[in-house]
Amino acid sequence: MNSKGRGAAKLGVFLIAVILLVCVTLGVFGNTAGSAYGIKRGLDLAGGVSITYEATKADPSATEMADTIEKMRMRAENFSTESEVYQEGSSRIVVDIPDVTDADAVLAQMGSAGSIQFIPVEGNIVQNEEGYYVLNASMDELYANGQVVIDGSDISTAKAKDVQDTLGVEHLVVLSLNQSGAAKFAKATEENYGKQIAIVYDGNVISAPVVRAIITDGEATISGQESIQEAERLASIIRIGALPLELTEIRSQVVGAKLGDTALQTSLLAGLIGFLLVFIFMIVVYRIPGLASSLALCAYVTIELILLDLLEITLTLPGIAGIILSIGMAVDANVIIFTRIKEEIGAGKTVRSAIKLGFSKALSAIIDGNVTTIIAGIVLAIFGTGTIKGFAYTLILGILISMLTALFITRFLLYALYDLGFDSEIFYGIKTERTPINFIGFSKKAYIISGAIICVGIIAIIVNSITGTAFNYALEFSGGTSTEVVFDGGNVPSNDEIRALVNGAVPGLSDVDVAQVVGEDKVIVKTRDLTLEERAAVHQAFFDQYNVSEGNIEEQIISGAVSGEMKRDALMSVIAATICMLIYIIIRFRNVNFGFSAVLALLHDVMIVVTLYALTRMNVGNTFIACMLTIVGYSINATIIIFDRIRENIAEMQKKDTYADIVNRSITQTLTRSINTNITTLVMVVMLMILGVSSVREFALPLIVGLVFGTYSSICITGCLWYHLNQIKVKKEVAKKA
């Protein structure tokens, strides 16, 4: 077979593979596994089940409510990392689980959230005629007699686990106790060694394992389950029962998407248009390599959609940010490769040799840029909660697929097109060495510009704090008022229409969540905490516009869905991710100044976006966290590309070269890559800004600002920071020798 035949065969194989992937994605074969229609969506995009519980204890304390909410959140995250749990009124807890419609099934798996106790069998529990264990005294009597070893307040969590031994697989439940529970359980297992301790849930004995060891470390193992499903059920019951408060379910309902029915459609349309514009841009700028990368991106999208479904990753607005970032990085990897190919052709290499060398020389930069972001994603996935986890999962998945498509599929297609006859330099372009731009000379001005913007932001935060709050915190952080409105006659307005009505009734009200209750003529409107006058204005607006009677409007004060512990987890996970990236950069580049420069640049980019939020008073909520994480990931990737080129040029440094020359040359050589990658990523986000609903636009604007300034800092600040830090080091070494 001649080269053209080989090229045609390769392209044919690729097109067949992509067609099959598209068919799987669209569910053409009748199997929903891997179908885009099966992708789980968050509350903002799909709605879900909302369950309201109430504490049986009268006047529960704030600490008891907070601890119960946190444990219920951990339980809800077994359904989805994007679940929300928050307080309503003084004694109610609302659990919102996305993209499910069977409230009864959720309730069955959540359990009745009752009480759980561990009680010695001897003297307290007997077997009835059917052979079942039953209590021989009331729970109040058992507590009074000191027969309750531990209860829900002593348990941290419980997990099912399979362990392989010589006899086969053993299905276990691993129980973790808090400090108080560990001390109690150590004493109980010592006193009941060789005897049974029963697990009692809502007054019923669900298990009675034998104590086979004295447990002093707060980690107990329950064996004897016949299957992993039985172990998971027992672990689930223990987790639910391990609540400081006993809860009863008072209401469950299915709610619609918070962002409205059109949010997903407009986001998909924006993504499709942005994708087509990226195609055109890549082909116009990079010609045949651009065509290869565009075709590879088709494979990227289908693979991503299939894996999102198979891995059961919940897709939300922040998750879309992770996908946008990974698409940008997929394009970025191709841009790095194609720039290298142009350079090699400009240096006199043949096209085939240039393709080979382009991939080879770009490999280091691609791996370093992606690995640093993957490290951050892994740390966020392990230690983050809620939105942080959702963002991390989509980001890690997207980056891994983008590396696959850039390094293997794009290469495969490029050689196929070359074999097909596109073997002339005209199809690839030639890049000649350009005169280095004096970025070092401009650096002081860049520092002043950035410093001035950040100072404005700090002043805005101080002024905002004096006059109210530093930022305009969204409902997820600050809580507010939940208003249920029942419409007569079944004519329920759209989410956008209700949002506009409430905004009109309370001028300046920027954060309004609207969700329709499926199957009922009811909507739930969540806003910041409203004054009595503002509530009256909202009531009057519903009466005037829709003739809703006063008796059909009910309000409750709600807490933020993002608890204090979740905020701390988010902050600590971001700090941990930054430290891990810093360590990797220092090890990989063998120069601590590279690491510090990268972190300072990250802080710069974050502070610029914080300034935007402080000045515009945009809502600071889950989308704020997603924006920051996206900007950090994008910025570190752009920084690594420049650092990689600096490292390469230092290795080839001539005697006449200074470090300033090296930095200026390296930034100039990567300038086209920095600008083009920013353009392709911005295209996607700008389309979201133009076509998205109001909440999506509010999410897109800070992303645009962050991406622009992230590119600016990579070009004008990061490399220059490294140079100035390196000069300080050099001067110290010279001083020591003197």
Q: What residues form DSSP beta bridges with 556?
A: 482
Of 267-271, 354-358, 432-436, which gets the smallest average pLDDT? 267-271
Whether residue 569 is found in the same domain as residue 655: yes
Within a domain: 252: no
Within a domain: 654: yes
Within a domain: 656: yes
Residue (of 118, 124, 121) closest to 137 by Cα position: 124
Token pair belonging to 8: 């045609």
Select from 558, 587, 619 the last residue of a domain. 558
Q: What is the CATH classification number for the domain harbouring 98?
A: 3.30.70.3400
Whether residue 75 is found in the same domain as residue 149: no
- Tens digit of each residue's pLDDT (9 = 90 or more) over 156-202: 778 888 887 777 788 888 888 888 888 888 998 899 999 999 888 76
What does pTM read for this prediction? Answer: 0.71
Q: What is the CATH classification number for the domain harbouring 729?
A: 1.20.1640.10
Token pair belonging to 271: 């993504």
Number of structural domains found in the chain: 5
| Phi and psi, residue 607, nearest 5° | -65, -35
Dmax (CA) of the chain: 96
| Phi and psi, residue 161, nearest 5° | -155, 140
Sign of the dihedral defined by the CA atoms of residues 692, 694, 695, 699, in that order: positive
Question: Is the distance from CB of 632 to CB of 733 less than 8 angstroms?
Answer: no
Contacts of 373 (CB under 8 A, 6+ apart): 329, 395, 399, 633, 636, 637
Inform me whether the pLDDT recorded for 345 exceeds 80. yes
More confident residue, 321 or 416: 416
d(CA 365, CA 693): 37
Inform me whether the pLDDT recorded for 121 exceeds 80. yes
Whether residue 290 is found in the same domain as residue 400: yes
Count the Cβ atoms, other than its own, within 10 Å of residue 164: 8
Q: What pLDDT, on the 0 to 100 scale, is given for residue 140? A: 81
Whether residue 672 is found in the same domain as residue 694: yes
Place of tokens 């809620």: 386
Whether residue 649 is found in the same domain as residue 719: yes
Whether residue 187 is found in the same domain as residue 214: yes
Whether residue 415 is found in the same domain as residue 275: yes
DSSP secondary structure letters along 166-230: TTEEEEEEEEEE-HHHHHHHHHHHHHTTTSBEEEEETTEEEE--B--S---SSEEEEEEESSHHH
| Phi and psi, residue 146, nearest 5° | 70, 25
- If pLDDT is split at 50, 70 and 90, which confidence band does 738 have? low
- Tens digit of each residue's pLDDT (9 = 90 or more) over 375-396: 877 877 777 666 677 777 887 8
Its domain, for residue 536, covers: 480-558
- Tens digit of each residue's pLDDT (9 = 90 or more) over 552-587: 888 878 776 665 656 666 677 777 877 888 888 888
Q: What is the CATH classification number for the domain harbouring 196?
A: 3.30.1360.200
For residue 671, the Cα-to-chain-centroid distance in whole angstroms is: 30
Inform me whether the pLDDT recorded for 489 exceeds 60. yes
Environment class of 98 (CB within 10 Å of its CB; exposed 0-12, middle 13-18, buried 19+): buried
Question: Is the distance from CB of 450 to CB of 713 less than 8 angstroms?
Answer: yes
Region 48-71: mean pLDDT is 81
Whether residue 218 is found in the same domain as residue 324: no
Count the Cβ atoms, other than its own, within 10 Å of residue 544: 11
Within a domain: 455: yes
Select from 186, 213, 242 the last residue of a domain. 242
- Which amino acid is present at 206? I
Within a domain: 368: yes
Whether residue 385 is found in the same domain as residue 285: yes
Q: What pLDDT, on the 0 to 100 scale, is given for residue 74? A: 72
Contacts of 259 (CB under 8 A, 6+ apart): 44, 45, 317, 495, 693, 695, 696
Environment class of 631 (CB within 10 Å of its CB; exposed 0-12, middle 13-18, buried 19+): buried
Question: Is the distance from CB of 577 to CB of 376 less than 8 angstroms?
Answer: yes
Q: What pLDDT, on the 0 to 100 scale, is given for residue 450? A: 93
Whether residue 684 is found in the same domain as residue 576: yes
Whether residue 569 is found in the same domain as residue 615: yes
Q: What pLDDT, on the 0 to 100 scale, is given for residue 446? A: 93
Within a domain: 464: no
Within a domain: 237: yes
Within a domain: 103: yes
More confident residue, 16 or 732: 16
Q: What pLDDT, on the 0 to 100 scale, is given for residue 461? A: 93
More confident residue, 620 or 722: 722
Select from 108, 125, 159 the last residue of a domain. 108
Q: What pLDDT, on the 0 to 100 scale, is given for residue 615? A: 92
Q: What pLDDT, on the 0 to 100 scale, is given for residue 668? A: 92
Question: Is the distance from CB of 367 to CB of 298 less than 8 angstroms?
Answer: no
Whether residue 574 is found in the same domain as residue 450: yes
- Tens digit of each residue's pLDDT (9 = 90 or more) over 252-305: 777 766 665 566 677 777 778 888 888 898 899 888 999 999 899 888 888 888
